[in-house]
Each structure stands twice: as C-alpha cells, then as structure tokens.
Structure 1
Amino acid sequence: MELIILLLGIFGTGAGASFLVIRNFYYICQPSEVLIFAGNRTQIADGKEVGYRLVKGGSSIQVPLLERAFRMDLTNMIIELRVSNAYSKGGIPLTVEGVANIKIAGEEPTIHNAIERLLGKSRKDIEQLAKETLEGNLRGVLASLTPEQVNEDKIAFAKILLEEAEDDLEKLGLVLDNLQIKNISDEVRYLDSIGRKQQAELLRDARIAEAKARAQSIIQASENERVTSLRRIERDLQVAKAEAERRVRDALTKRTAVVAEVESVVGSEVARVQAEVAVQTERIKQVENQLQADVVAPAEAECKRAIAKARGDAARIVEDGKAQAAGTKRLAESWKTAGASAREIFLLQKLEPLLKTMAAGVPEVEVQNLTVIDAQNGSNVTKMASFLEQLRQATGVDVAKVAGHLAGGEPTSNGSQHQG
C-alpha cells in the first residue's frame, strides 16, 4: 500500500512538472508571427551561424535556462507619408502625401536583418523608422523628377519610389507591400498652372477631337448617303430593267397577235386586190373590145380608105406624069427641030408662071432678075432644060409656062415687068 502511494506521488509530481513545463516552455507560432528562440547557435541557409533559431508556422519548446523566446509580429503596418517643401528637379518645392503598407519580412534572408535591427522594438518605433526611411527616399526621388513628371503619372512615380525604397527597407528587414500617392501640391501654384495648361490642352484636344469626330461623322454620313444613293440607283436600275423585260415580254406576246392580225388584214387585202385584179382584167378586156370597136376598127377602115385614095391619087399623078413626060418629049423634039434659039425663048416664056408661083409663096419679096447657072458641062439650054424638068418633077411647077407668061409681058405680083 505504501508502495502504491509512493508511485502515485511520484506520478503526480511528474505530471505536475510536465504541466508546468508545457505551460511555461511550450510555444505555438501563429501564421502572422515568427518565434525566435535566442541562446543556442544555429547555422542558417547561407552557412552563417547565428545565436538563435526561428520557428514559423508551427510550435516548439523553449530549452529552460538556455533559451529565451521572442515573438515578432508579421502583420501589415499602414504608414501615412507627408513630405513638405521637397524640391523637385527644376527647383519647385512640392508637397507629397501618400500611404504605404509595410511589414516585417517573414522569409529568409531578410528576416535575419529584421531580427538583428528590430527585435525588441515596439511596433510604433518600427513604424516611425519605416516612415522616416520612406520620406527620405521620397525626397530623393522627387529631386530627380520634374513637377510635370511627378504630376502626370503618379503610378510611375510610386513605382520609382517603391524601387528606390526596397533596398533600404530590405536592409532593415522590412518589406514594402504597397505604396500609393494620394496628393501632390505646391505653394507657388506651379502645378495649378500646369493643370490649367493641361486643361486648356485637353480642352483644345477635345475640341479638335470633336471637330474631327464631326468631320468624320459628316464624311461618314456622306459616305452612307453615297452608298444609299448607289443602292437606290441600283434598285431603280433593277426595277427599270425588270420593267423593260416585262415590256419586252409583253411586246413579244403582243407581236404574235399583231403579226397574226396584220397577216389577216394583208391576206384579206391580197384577196380583195386579187378579186379587183380579176375585175380589172375583165374591164381591160371590155375596154379593149370597146376600143377595138370604137377606135381600131374605124381607124383600120379609114386607113384602108386612105390607102385606096392614095393609090388612086398616085395613079392619077403617075398618069399625069406620063402625059407630061410625053408632052415634054414632044416639046423637046419640036425644040430640037426648031433650033437652039427657039428653045431658049420658049423657056423664058415659061419662066414667068414659075416666078409668080414663087412670089406667091414668099410674100413681100421683089424679084428683080433670075440667073441660071450651069452646074455641069454642056450648053446652057441643055442644062436649063434639065433643071426645069427636075424642078417640075419635084414641085409640080412648069417653069416653061411661067417663062411664057413672062415673055407675053404679064405684070408680076408687085406691078413691075420683066424684059425677055
């Protein structure tokens, strides 16, 4: 029984001691912090030995009497930044306001810088250190930029400041998560003038853009109107084409009917003309018969009568010529018997009737004398007799009789006498 009590006492003492050890020397590390157990030397990643060991995201037991435990908060710290009269490039003093989010580095090797420089400092002291560091970097960045560069692109300015401050903060074991520039101003109103200038330029650009947009709108409207007009013309052209095709189809359709109608009219006209031709043919025959009876037959009869009369006149003329030829022959024989002088006298006596006849045929003509010219060889009497005979045969005038009347002293048509 005593042994049991002894064992229970020993067990209770061990349990109490274990509880006491767990309560005082067992540490649990939160996700937003890091545990530092100082006292024992350990080797870090780069091979360097340090006098502490780190615990992050877990738990560990402090070695009594040999180690001391520290907690380091890794949560964000919001730092308000304000820099006044920071001279920019060009000598213009600027006032810059911003906000930064920083925290203690939780990764190696930067965390070792934080342990060496910030372990044991309060959170307020860390924020002040980070603020002074950032403000110094901010002044340095402003000195390398003009007010226009700072004011025109705050994002680029913040990026340059972030790059400039990273090295300094890393040396302190801090990490800059974010940096925003809230406001930039100056007491000489330089930025206001830049703003007004930029505003004027923006207004100018806006007006130019508006004018360009208006011009582009007008151009586009004109182009749309052109396209619409072209489409309208194309539509009207298609309508006109369709209408023309319809008219052609109608014309082709009507052409057959018109051709048939014209053919019927022409056929009827041809039939009428053929009938009229037959009628006219009969009429021509009738007229021919009538002309034959009224004109041709009497004309033929008259022709026959004229031919018979001409034959009778010709027979009489022939008989008269024969009688005259016989008389002339007897006259020539008597002339030959009587001698050359008798025939000349006879011829001269016969010349007067010839002259009267010629004078009657040519009124208002006075014949003073008549001269007979021998056209061939021979005596004058022979040639004269031949001429008178030819003249009598041609004209029916007996020159010898005319000469006889002239020899008897008969007056001429104009009252004068011819001497033989």
Structure 2
Amino acid sequence: RINVPSTFTIGVSTEPSIMANAAERLLGFKVEDIEEMAKEIIFGQLRLTVATLTIEQINQDRDSFLELIQKNVGQEMRKVGLYLINVNIADITDNADYIESIGKKAASTAVEQARVDVANAERDGAIGKAEADRTKDIQVAKNTAEAEKGRKEAEADQRVYVEQQEALAVGGENAAQAEIARANADLAEAEASAKQRADVATAQSEAAIAMATYDEEEQKLRASEIARETVAKQQVEIAAEAEAERQRRIARGEADAILAKYNAEAEGIQNVLESKAKGYSSLVTSASGDPKAAATLLMVEKIEAMVNAQTEAIRNLKIDKITVWDSGNNADGNSATSNFVSSLVQSLPPIHDVAKMSGVELPDYLGSMTDETNES
C-alpha cells in the first residue's frame, strides 16, 4: 500500500457542453455535496491509476504518473460538469518503506558508480600522461634529427646556389653586353626610321595644309552660292505668300459682298412680305373681318389686268386671210359668219370661271353665268 499525498484544484468548466453537464447534474447540490462527489471521483481514479502501475514505474517516472492521473480524473470530472485545474503531488511513500529503499539503493549505486568513474578517469589520466611523455620524447628526437638533416641539406643547397649564382652572373654579364650591342643597333635603326617618318610626316602635313586651304576656299564659294540661292528662294516664297494672301483677301471681299447682297435681298423680300401682310390685314379689317370679301376686292382690282390678258391672247394671232362661205341664215337665225366670231370669243375662259379657279366668287353686279341646255 502506497501513500500519495496530493492537492486537486477543480472548478466548474467554462466550455458550453460541459457547463450543460454541470447544470444538469449539480443543480440544487450544496457545496459540501459537490466537494464530496469530487473527492469520491478523485479517490476512485487515483486508486485505478495506482493499480495499473508498479511501484518502480511510479517512482521512476513521476511526470508520466502525474499526466495519467490528470487524464483519468479530468475525464470523470467533465462528466459532471467540473474541470480539473491543477494537481500537485507532494511525495509518494509506502508502509514498507520500499520506495525509500529503492531511493537509497539508487543513491548507493550512483555513489559507487561515481567512485568507479573517478578511478577510471585517474587511470586513463596516468596512461594518457605516460603516452604523452613517450610521444614527446620520440617527437623531440625526430625533430633533432630532422634539424641536423635540414642543416646539412641547407649547407649543400647553399654551395650549389652560390655556384649557380656565379654562373648566372657570368651569363648575365655576357647577355648584358649582347643586349647593349643590340640596343645600340636598335637605336641607330630607330633614329633612321624616325627621321624617315619625320620627313614623310612633314610632306604629308604640307599636303594636308594645301588641301585644307583648297577645301576652305571651296567651302566659302559654296556657302556664298547657297546664301544667294537661299535669298532668292525666300524672295520667291515671300512673293508667293503675298499673292496668296491677296487672292484670299479678294475672295473674302467677294464672298462678303455676295453675302451682303443676299442679305439685302432677303431683307427687301421680308419687308415686301411684311408690308403685304400689313396691307392684307388692313383690307380684311376694312371688310368687317371677312377674308372672302377682302379676296373679292383684290380680285376686282385685277379684273382689268385679266381682261387685258384675255384680249392679248388673241391679239397677236396672225390671220392672213379668212374665207367664209355663208349660204344664208342658219336654223337659229344667225349667219355662219356671226357664229364663227361668237365661237372665237367664247373660246376664251369667262372671267367668272377664272375667278372661281382662284377660289373667289365675284359679286352679282359684275354679271353671272347661267347654264345653257340645248333641247333636241
């Protein structure tokens, strides 16, 4: 049997579904009753958790033991609407002091292991020191031999190097003499070549000066000719623009004159029409507001002109000769000659018919037309 002194902190859950469990299962309970219910759940789940583990498992892995308690107790608490906030386990003991013995054994084992580790470390240190000393002596001897060997090789290399340098010095002196001779020859050749290039350059320079002088004179002549042509071209352009402007102004003047003429004619026609309108309005007013009577008066004024037009229609007829065979009186008592003249006059439209064509009815004092019916 083991003792697990612990402290559990619980409260009502804030999750909606678990709060519903609390409202359903804890409503109406007193605080003491709720605490008692929580204790029973905790003790039951704690016994169940301890029963599933060995003492060694509980003692060696306290964190896993604590997580398992939180898991089992928390699940049961949620069923009644409670939430496990915290679990604190102070210590775990048993009546037979088995857990304490396990701890002491582990401590003793750890101490012995530490002593063994110290001894092993001291042994390894001594062995390492001896090996280091041996390696040091061997390395010192090797370094001494290598140093002597290096010194001898250096002396040999020094003698060889000195001889080589002397040979190189002699060869260098000979090469220097040859180089001096070549340099003198190159100098003479360079001087001759330089003189030749100088002469050629002088000739080319003189030719270039002459060519430049010729080009300059040619450019001056060309510039003078271009200037004259440009001035002539500008004069032609100015004259053309002036003529074009004159033609445009003449055209604008003629257009303005035509427009003024048409405007004047339009104003004259408008004035005539306005005057006629005023006259017709006065005529209608004088005819007591009767437009038909006013039109009749206007028609009466034109009768003379209409009669003249009718007579003018036959006056210009050219009849060279008229031959009439008249055998006597006709059945109506008229002669053929009189009937011919009457028919000729009747061929003209009567004045009343002309007036009717204009929509005007002439007054009776100007005569009237009657329909003649021939009875057979």
The TM-score, its normalising length taken from structure 1, stands at 0.33
Structure with the greater alpha carbon radius of gyration:
1
Higher helix share: 2
The TM-score, its normalising length taken from structure 2, stands at 0.37
Higher strand share: 1
